[in-house]
Chains A and B, each alone.
Chain A
């Protein structure tokens, strides 16, 4: 047993002293140890920057728009900036937002149509009904489809049937600023009985979707978005 302990201690020392060079990962034991060691080092010992306190003054100083996203199920909070905006057909622009480390969210009229870089991502969607609802053109019920990335490199399709409720006018405040909005609720039931409720707060003046809470699959759960600074 002493030998085993000594071996473990020396192996640890060797890991700490391990190093490598060149552009190819070596498929040797040493190479593999290094891969794990590097990952652990970057994951466990990396310093996480402090969250700033968001104030209107800070936002006013920004030269780019900003979107706040929270993912309660993962205790996640991030502030995103625009990556790219593109238009196709008639449904309005597709706006892709990103964090500094490449977590991405693509919105269409405030409706989540894709995520990237979160793990268990929303690969693609059919949310034409939700977009119509948020932009005031919906019928009484509509289909919603979410394609969710699986851990087995596949995509799992989730189909829902949704109805909407217009809950009337209210006022919301986002970082020291008030907006007159209409509160919308989208209630969707999946084929497996999953019931979710998405919420949208839409500016009564120009239709800006300031704040939402939308379901993005079982693993991510609900995502809340707030526009801190508009384009």
Chain B
């Protein structure tokens, strides 16, 4: 590969630079025209998974990819979200609507479905990529089918430009509907039942019944254009029998255009009768829309040579240590604040050692805060101070202590492998809970008051009539921190517009702890979203505690207590949480209703490495049911997190109602990923196919584990690559 300049990209990297005498400098005009990806990931089909038009292919998306797509043909609209959870495993969540259904009590049929795909073999020089897939894997779903499919890429075939992908597969269920070759694994499968509550994996019907071959070709003419042709084995019986559309052919074809790095659109002709469209938004957390940029750090200041300047190393200041600490603390506190770091205390533990307790206000990556604090200490500490203990604080909780040698900072910055070298010569351990008496604490650290007025959105998903309902309005939130570990916080909301209140209410065999959401929406315009007192502290070297009382969430108030054991280097953390909760009045002001419950969980958190964290919570839920919640999240180093969860309790599927048990997915996107500018804020949202009363957990603000995880030693090591930044 020759690397040349003939691929200009317009990123805004420079801003003004000011030399003396107003000799100022600016960037060339920057725009952010997106570059079309040179190696496109597999394109998606109408089900939102790698594939042709309506059929799947054998490829997997690049690891970590999140693909959102909307497709429509013949009155059938599918909204799909696929996440490539690991290099081989992907999951898809889908919401569909089929117009002109006119049966089973629905004019328009709406449903939700889950797919899972597993890449059996990666593509090799001769070997194709082979994937086995389970489509609509729970219940007798409308799209239920299983397949094994292979895809092979051919670059510049027959001297044509671009590349051709050839796909062939064998499908069961829906994909075994036409041209079957028999029933390889025997059995029969039940026909689709529109009234089934669904929700549970229907293992007994997977790969049963007739199997039929399918296949197709995709030609990616260049980076932007592609055409697709396929031969479908899908009979579309449920749809054609109800007159949704006419199916006249087994051939589908279409053309696609890559609009930008993220967006691809296509137009198609399907089943000899219908025009279709598909829009695919494919995002990979590992390639942000804007490179993360951060103004360069302060320089490391090296001390004068000791032999040549012995007087610089005088310890004559030692008797006045208290005053010196005060002066140094006062000097560095505003400089750290400029860098987005809050100094919580400074202590000269001896003439050779300093301890700085800091909190990162701007950088999700705490290694940046460590590095920048250390740089400032090289510029300000007396020359005899050779050891820096920098303690990462997370909302008053001291989490991890990083011990750095000043001489290493001076020596290593421009050495090859500088980050690894610094990590190797530094120590990371659990932070001691308290510090000694001779400590500088900045004025104004406590009490602190913060507030914000801004918009709020409260979505409600997958009502039978509307896929998304939304309330929106203005929120006033405030937080008051009177002393270390104490927080008094609340949020007042005023709804301006919304339709969540129109959500159909449903009967529940359980206390209506969550299905009463429409009643909360109906009665509350100006509401107290939450209002609570929180106290958290470090009880020992590896243990933390929290007490919270007040209006904890929209629907419940009460008291919550939690203890967490989390050694900073440990993969495993254990917690216990106990709560007394009482249902709030529907108007969400100060009153309570009669329903109350003791709820709580024992939780285990395990960091598997590579960003995968598993969590099991065993205990009692809001409706008084007992059970356990299992979840796995994958957190990328840039802060993206995608995960799934499900809860099994002693409530039967019948009592639970639609969906059989509680489950869902959750996504958290760091705002700095979107903007390229440092920020500790995240946008996170759980999505449940349906929220019922079984397996519902109290929503408590400030749970301990999520607060601590980013600041533990394991997270710091993973993020250490930015320590010099």
The 8 Å CB contact of A43, one of B3, B451, B472, B675, is B675
Which residues from chain A contact B1 at a C-beta distance below 8 Å? Answer: 192-195
Q: A56 on the interface (CB 8 Å rule)?
A: no
Q: Find residues 446-501 in chain B having any chain A CB closer than 8 Å to their own CB.
A: 448-457, 470-479, 481, 491, 496-499
Contacts of B452 in A (CB 8 A): 18-21, 26, 28, 30-31, 34
Q: Nearest Cβ in chain B — how far from A189, in angstroms?
A: 10
CB of B370 to closest CB in A, whole Å: 13
Q: Is A33 a contact of B455 with CB atoms below 8 Å?
A: yes
Name the contact of A75 in the complex, choosing from B8, B498, B683 (C-beta under 8 A). Answer: B8
- Among A43, A50, A73: residue with most chain B CB under 10 A: A73
What residues of chain B lie closer than 8 Å to A6, measured between beta carbons? 497
Residues of B contacting A88 in the complex (Cβ-Cβ under 8 angstroms): 302, 411
B720 to nearest A CB, angstroms?
Answer: 8
Which residues in B have their C-beta under 8 angstroms from that of A42? 677
Given A7-B472, A79-B17: A25 and B680 interface contact (C-beta under 8 Å): yes
A24-B448 contact given A14-B454, A101-B16, A149-B725, CB 8 Å threshold: yes
Closest chain B residue to A222 by CB distance?
A: B5
Bound: A30/B712 CA distance, A: 28
> Among A62-70, A176-184, A204-212, which stretch is in contact with chain B?
A62-70
**Interface residues of chain B: helix, strand, loop or mixed (majority):** loop
**Neighbouring B residues of A126 by C-beta, 8 Å:** 416
Chain B residues within an 8 Å CB radius of A77: 14, 25-28
Contact A30–B475 (Cβ < 8 Å): yes
Residue of A nearest to B419 (CB): A155
Which chain B residues border A196 with CB–CB below 8 Å? 3
Specify which of A15, A43, A61 is in contact with B454 (CB 8 Å cutoff). Answer: A15
B367 within 8 A of A: yes
1/0 contact trace for A20-54 toward B, CB 8 Å?
A: 11111111111111111001101100001111100
Closest Cβ–Cβ distance, residue A215 to chain B (whole Å): 6
B190 CB–A CB distance under 8 Å: no
Q: Residues of A contacting B607 with CB < 8 Å?
A: none
Q: Does B679 count as interface, using CB distance less than 8 angstroms?
A: yes
**Interface residue ranges of B290-340 to A (CB < 8 Å):** 290-297, 299, 301-302
Contact, CB under 8 Å: A28 / B491: yes
A15 to B470, CA, bound (A): 17
Known: A48-B16, A116-B725, A152-B638. A39 touches B671 (CB 8 A): yes
- Report whether A114 and B413 are in contact in the complex, using a CB–CB cutoff of 8 Å: yes
Nearest residue (CB) in B for A33 is B454
Q: How far is the CA of A111 from the CA of B292 in the complex (A)?
A: 25
A64 CA / B21 CA spacing, docked (Å): 9
In the complex, what distance in Å separates the CA atom of A80 from the CA atom of B26?
Answer: 11
Choose, from A92-100, A132-140, A162-170, the stretch at the interface. A92-100
Would you call B7 an interface residue if the criterion is a C-beta within 8 Å of the partner chain's C-beta atoms? yes
Neighbouring B residues of A157 by C-beta, 8 Å: 417
* Candidates A36, A106, A219; contact of B675 at CB < 8 Å: A36
In the bound complex, do residue B15 and residue A100 qualify as a contact, i.e. CB atoms below 8 Å apart?
yes
B17 in contact with A103 (CB, 8 Å): yes
Asked whether any CB of chain B lies closer than 8 Å to the CB of A171, the reply is no
Whether B427 sits at the interface, judged by CB under 8 Å, is no
- Distance A74 CA – B414 CA, assembled complex (angstroms): 25
Partner of B292, one of A96, A151, A221: A151
Known: A99-B14, A124-B418. A31 touches B293 (CB 8 A): no
In Å, the complex CA distance between A155 and B451 comes to 38
Residues of B within 8 A of A75 (CB): 8-11, 27-30
**Residues of B close to A66: CB separation below 8 A:** 19, 23
Bound Cα distance from A196 to B676, whole angstroms: 28
Q: Which 8 A-B pairs have the closest CB atoms?
A: A22-B450, A30-B454, A102-B295, A99-B17, A119-B291, A14-B455, A116-B296, A117-B296
